Chain A
Amino acid sequence: MAKQLYLYPVWIRLWHLLNAILFLILIFTGISMQFAGSERTFSLIRFDRAVAWHNTSAIILTFSYVIFVLGNIFTTNNRHYRIRKENFWSDLLSQLKYYSFGMFKKEKHPFPVTLEQKFNPLQKISYVLAMYFGMPVLIITGIGLLFPEILVRQFLGVSGLLITDILHIAVGFVLSIFMLIHIYTCTLGDKPTTLFKSMINGYHEEHEE
């Protein structure tokens, strides 16, 4: 018998969908700019178009991020991002063990999804790092690159623009890897498509044993 929990309200689903689309555009255009080629070499998308799409998507993403933060402040969704200090490492390890071995042995999920516990400890820490550390750094460095005149020109003899960009690219890469893993872990539901459906209809579905 399948249990159904309404975990994803409309605003979260809309934000998530927008965030996903924008992030995919940003990854695609970002890679295209980073590895921009001349006519003789490979290029994903024309440079000026990549710049325009990247900038536009980034500005929308910044507003969408503000909505996410405000949404978490003014709704109860924020409780899912609170990390408990007690048993932090042991919880993380047991979740990691489950993904590495337990799930192949049909063991029970160590942290079953409930209305109070939407995320397992591994999801929680990665989402907090991505949304409250990675995203702000990405947005601030992105604003710096969009308005280079606000950056310090040289820091320790190195171009401030370059330092900002390396940080932007590095964090962008880490978040891209996060997205890749995030998409894969979304196939770990009862069926590979179950969790994707949840983000469409809002209901988390799980077979009770």
Chain B
Amino acid sequence: MKIALTSLAALLSVIFITENSGPVLQDPAEDYQIKKGIENNLFAEDNEKCLVCHGDTYFELTDTVLGVTQKRLMCEDYQIDRDKYYKSNHWSFACTDCHSYGMEIFPHPTSARLEESYNCIDCHGYDEQYAQYHFEEIQEEYEENVHAKIEGFTCWKCHDPHSYEINIRNSTNLEETILYDNNICLECHANYDNFQLLSDREEIVVVESHSWLPNESAHFTNIRCIECHTEINDSILVAHKLLPKDDAVQRCTECHTSDSRLLATLYKFQSKEFRANVGFVNGVIFNQSYVIGANRNIILNILSFIIFGGVIFIIVAHTFFRIIRRN
């Protein structure tokens, strides 16, 4: 039934639609990057000294004097998934690039454990190599962000340095990107245990607080949380200024219109060339998704105006002849 319906639809609409997957902006740095993976990490062997414990759900504690070894659970927060790590943005790093050599001592000394972690800006800021990503502005936005007011909140709460992958910038599968990005938010906002580590507020039930949205599930699966919960910034690729909940987008026509804000957020990475696709205003949206009021087919619009005008003309002409021939 579903296939029959869409087949019929496709036959009739195919003349108006140009199939195009739409090129995406590529990170120029990736052109010369070698393939990610443990086999290409120069420090993989050294890293294993850490991952022998942190790469598993348990570790072994040995008393060399008594010759006693016991298995202990590794706290979930300190577990590192090798597969995710070697696919992440920081896949090529040695653990000691970010963690002090004090962490090579076991048990780790308290001074090493309490040392302050680097933040994104510490490595990516004020560096020509990353200038195009405007990390300095991202930092400024973060400092105005509602999360920045929470004690203990850092970049890492959302961008786990051991697993985070740049997604939207290189993605050709928007659906997966949306899921990945929204899961970052839901890690705390749909998990009260995690949420409580940072806030004393009452539990937020995301599904209930968004129940005002028509077709709530369609919104959850087709846009990222940040589409409505951040302030648009044209000079950075992903807006980081998360707004207080009362300032989140609530007017439908912010998105459901030809100058949809989604063009400045979710669809920002699709090429401008594709955006100017003949026949579709906001054609960039149409290929992967559909937004009522934003997808407008210029050909169909013009055709409809011509047909409507033609019918009105015929009616007026017919009425005119009826009047003059009345007697």
Contacts and interface: CB of A to CB of B under 8 A. Distances in A.
A137 B297 CA distance: 20
A41 B296 CA distance: 15
A162 B295 contact: yes
B211 interface: no
Nearest to B18: A158
A106 B14 CA distance: 46
A157 interface: yes
Interface in A162-177: 162-167, 169-170, 173, 177
A184 B287 CA distance: 40
Interface string B284-295: 001111101101
Contacts of A36: 252-253, 256-257, 292-293
Interface in B1-59: 2-3, 5-10, 12-14, 16-17, 19, 21
Consensus secondary structure, chain A interface: helix
Interface residues of A, number: 48
A164 B252 contact: no
B245 interface: no
B311 A164 contact: no
B271 interface: no
Nearest to B260: A38
Give the interface residue-count category, chain B: 35 or more
A47 B253 contact: yes
Contact of A166 (B9, B21, B251): B9
A151 B6 contact: yes
B293 A158 contact: no
Contact of B304 (A161, A163, A173): A173
B6 A152 contact: yes
A97 B252 CA distance: 49
Interface string B217-229: 1100000000000
Contacts of A9: none
A151 to B, nearest CB: 6
A104 to B, nearest CB: 4
A144 B8 CA distance: 13
A155 B251 CA distance: 31
A158 B8 contact: no
Interface string B120-146: 000000000000000000000000000
A47 B9 CA distance: 26
Interface of A: 33-39, 41, 43, 46-48, 51-52, 99, 103-105, 137, 140-141, 144, 148-153, 155-167, 169-170, 173, 177, 180-181, 184
Given A165-B295, A177-B307, 20 more contacts: A33-B256, A35-B293, A37-B253, A38-B254, A46-B252, A104-B325, A140-B5, A151-B6, A152-B2, A155-B10, A160-B2, A162-B295, A163-B6, A163-B10, A166-B16, A166-B17, A169-B300, A170-B13, A177-B311, A181-B315
